A and B are shown apart, each in its own frame.
Chain A
Amino acid sequence: MTDTAWIDNALTSARPQAVGALLRYFRNLDTAEEAFQNACLRALKSWPQNGPPRDAAAWLIMVGRNVAIDDIRRGRKQEPLPEDDHAISDTGDAEEQLAERLDGSHYRDDILRLLFICCHPDLPATQQIALALRIVSGLTVKQIARAFLVSEAAMEQRITRAKARVADADVPFETPGAVERTERLAAVAAMIYLVFNEGYSASGDTAEIRSPLCEEAIRLARLLLRLFQSEPEIMGLTALLLLQHARAAARFDSDGAVILLDDQDRSKWNGKMIAEGLALIDKAMRHRRSGPYQIQAAIAALHARAETPADTDWTQIDLLYGALEIMQPSPVVTLNRAVAVSKVKGPEAALDMIEPLAARLSNYFHYFGVRGAFLMQLGRNDEARIAFDRAIALANTSAEAAHIRMHLDRLMRDSTRGAKAGK
């Protein structure tokens, strides 16, 4: 690894902790970010010469804080870097003291606060994600814009707006109480899940560009789990993301078309991610405090454990979806459960199950895709065709539409073959 790659990695991994601590000092996101940037510039100058500091985050916090305080005192924020950097590269004792304090209670709450600010309830989901990727992960505006398939200017504006809203909002800086910490944790987990979904729901042509979002979400989930090692739901969340992302290489063919779970080449699944995901869900279950992330991870785990589609334990999956329905009633959960039911009890029962959802899911692509598939299995081809036509009209991506068209083509072939055979 080259020297600069090493420094880049060190800066990236120290970032959440350093920005979080700087935010606690300055209570202003822009000042904290700027202080961190300045510290990074100095690190790039100083570390190659003086070697890496023992604790990169502590070094960055101290240097960033000192520079920002100097700037504020001078009232001249655009000051160029001073030529002589000796004073800050030799941070010896002070760095040690600071590191000592960081190991204590602040560390967890600093990072949690930073993450929490990014998913402030005043912000719409799209802004939450963009802000987290910018502030916590340190992705550039250009990288984020690319992942969201919008222009750099549009993304810049989205982030600026989000920051303005956060600045106006009343963000508490004192150490959170137990109840508040739990609420923050839940909000942060939801935001990480959103980041992941942005990457996961990308299809064929955009999957490659957007998959870094999945990796970033996994990194954030691991970070959160390291801070809250005994939270079964955070274990569940991390396991869920790992198990889902493990299938990334098998989910699309070379033309970017969707490959369904049953048809995926399971040798392309990432064994190491699956192993980690299974270990985490295994650990989480021991706590006997179930939650939606754990249940979803347990479902993903049953898929991951099946060596072939036929080995899948659909009965157990049906039960788990049943539990999820009670915890988080939603027509989408019921729709997913119906797929399991179709495997256990047949398409008739599954169709009965989704019939009552029609009104609430009348604009949902997957509802009509699934409904069409059940009807097709029952040989009710004309009705299946109507459902598939509706699905195509509602498709969000070209890959989704292409996948449904494949079903329609098959129906068409079957019906012509059926006519020839005189069926």
Chain B
Amino acid sequence: MLYAILCYHDEDMVGSWSNEQDAAVMTRLAAVQDKLTKQGRLGPVARLLPTTAATTLRKDDPPVVLDGPFAETKEQLLGFYVVDCKNLDEALDVARDLGKANPGGAYEIRPVGHFTPGSVTK
């Protein structure tokens, strides 16, 4: 089963990291990702730009374009992983590893129903 691990964190807080702190977190996360890549279990990984760069399309009739992220919450969706795991326990283990590398915030773990690997490479 593929699981999506959605990364939520307080954007103000992540935004106040220094460049060095940010780089250190990314390095620690890369170590966790390497392990999963070697096991052939890591799907696409994305870090999203700040929610200030987001636009929302409400699928009303006619659809309405709104500035900002879909949901105004204390913690924002900042990125996601797709990981191949046997079950929820395994997915939680991966999330715990990621969490050790990047404390704070929360991960939402969601089984993936349909997956298209896509053709984008950069």
Q: Measuring CB to CB, which residues of chain A are less than 8 angstroms from any residue of chain B?
A: 1, 5-6, 9-10, 12-14, 52, 55, 103, 219, 222-223, 225-226, 229-230, 235, 238, 272, 275-276, 279-280, 283, 286
Q: Give the shortest distance, in Å, between B75 (CB) and chain A (any CB).
A: 10
Beta-carbon contact of A226 and B51 below 8 Å? yes
Beta-carbon contact of B15 and A13 below 8 Å? yes
Beta-carbon contact of B49 and A9 below 8 Å? no
Mask, B59-70, CB within 8 Å of A = 1, is 000000111100
Beta-carbon contact of B55 and A13 below 8 Å? no
Beta-carbon contact of B24 and A13 below 8 Å? no
Beta-carbon contact of B15 and A219 below 8 Å? yes
Judged by a CB distance under 8 angstroms, whether B10 is at the interface is yes
With a cutoff of 8 Å between Cβ atoms, the chain B residues found around residue A283 in the complex are 53, 55, 67
Q: Measuring CB to CB, which residues of chain B are less than 8 angstroms from any residue of chain A?
A: 10-13, 15-17, 21, 24-25, 49-53, 55, 65-68, 74, 103-104
Beta-carbon contact of B17 and A9 below 8 Å? yes
Q: When chains A and B are docked, how far (Å) is the Cα of A13 from the Cα of B10?
A: 9
With a cutoff of 8 Å between Cβ atoms, the chain A residues found around residue B67 in the complex are 229-230, 235, 283
With a cutoff of 8 Å between Cβ atoms, the chain A residues found around residue B66 in the complex are 230
With a cutoff of 8 Å between Cβ atoms, the chain B residues found around residue A280 in the complex are 52-53
With a cutoff of 8 Å between Cβ atoms, the chain A residues found around residue B103 in the complex are 1, 6
Beta-carbon contact of B52 and A9 below 8 Å? no
Beta-carbon contact of B65 and A276 below 8 Å? no
Beta-carbon contact of A1 and B24 below 8 Å? yes
Beta-carbon contact of A13 and B25 below 8 Å? no
Interface centre among B12, B49, B103 (most CB of A within 10 A): B12
Q: List 14 A-B contacts (CB under 8 A).
A: A1-B24, A5-B21, A6-B103, A9-B16, A13-B10, A13-B12, A222-B50, A222-B52, A223-B12, A229-B52, A230-B67, A235-B52, A235-B67, A283-B55
Beta-carbon contact of A286 and B74 below 8 Å? no
Residue of A nearest to B52 (CB): A225
Beta-carbon contact of A275 and B15 below 8 Å? no
With a cutoff of 8 Å between Cβ atoms, the chain A residues found around residue B65 in the complex are 286
Contact A12/B21 with A1-B103, A226-B51 known, Cβ cut-off 8 Å: no
> Out of A10, A223, A286, which one reaches B13, CB within 8 Å?
A10
Q: When chains A and B are docked, how far (Å) is the Cα of A276 from the Cα of B53?
A: 7
How many A-B residue pairs have C-beta atoms within 8 angstroms? Tell me: 54
> Out of A55, A226, A235, which one reaches B74, CB within 8 Å?
A55
Beta-carbon contact of B52 and A219 below 8 Å? no
With a cutoff of 8 Å between Cβ atoms, the chain B residues found around residue A103 in the complex are 74
Contact A276/B10 with A9-B17, A55-B74 known, Cβ cut-off 8 Å: no
Residue of B nearest to A102 (CB): B74
Q: When chains A and B are docked, how far (Å) is the Cα of A219 from the Cα of B17?
A: 11
With a cutoff of 8 Å between Cβ atoms, the chain A residues found around residue B55 in the complex are 283
With a cutoff of 8 Å between Cβ atoms, the chain B residues found around residue A52 in the complex are 104
With a cutoff of 8 Å between Cβ atoms, the chain A residues found around residue B15 in the complex are 13, 219, 222
With a cutoff of 8 Å between Cβ atoms, the chain B residues found around residue A5 in the complex are 21
Q: When chains A and B are docked, how far (Å) is the Cα of A280 from the Cα of B24?
A: 27
Q: Give the shortest distance, in Å, between B12 (CB) and chain A (any CB).
A: 4
Beta-carbon contact of B52 and A230 below 8 Å? no
Interface centre among A52, A229, A276 (most CB of B within 10 A): A229
With a cutoff of 8 Å between Cβ atoms, the chain A residues found around residue B53 in the complex are 276, 279-280, 283
Residue of B nearest to A228 (CB): B67
Contact A226/B49 with A6-B104, A10-B13, A286-B65 known, Cβ cut-off 8 Å: no
Q: Give the shortest distance, in Å, between A107 (CB) and chain B (any CB).
A: 11
Beta-carbon contact of B13 and A226 below 8 Å? no
Q: When chains A and B are docked, how far (Å) is the Cα of A276 from the Cα of B68?
A: 13
Beta-carbon contact of B68 and A230 below 8 Å? yes
Beta-carbon contact of B52 and A13 below 8 Å? no
> With A9-B16, A230-B66, A276-B50 given, can you name 9 additional A-B contacts, CB distance below 8 Å?
A9-B13, A12-B16, A52-B104, A222-B50, A226-B11, A229-B52, A230-B68, A272-B49, A283-B55
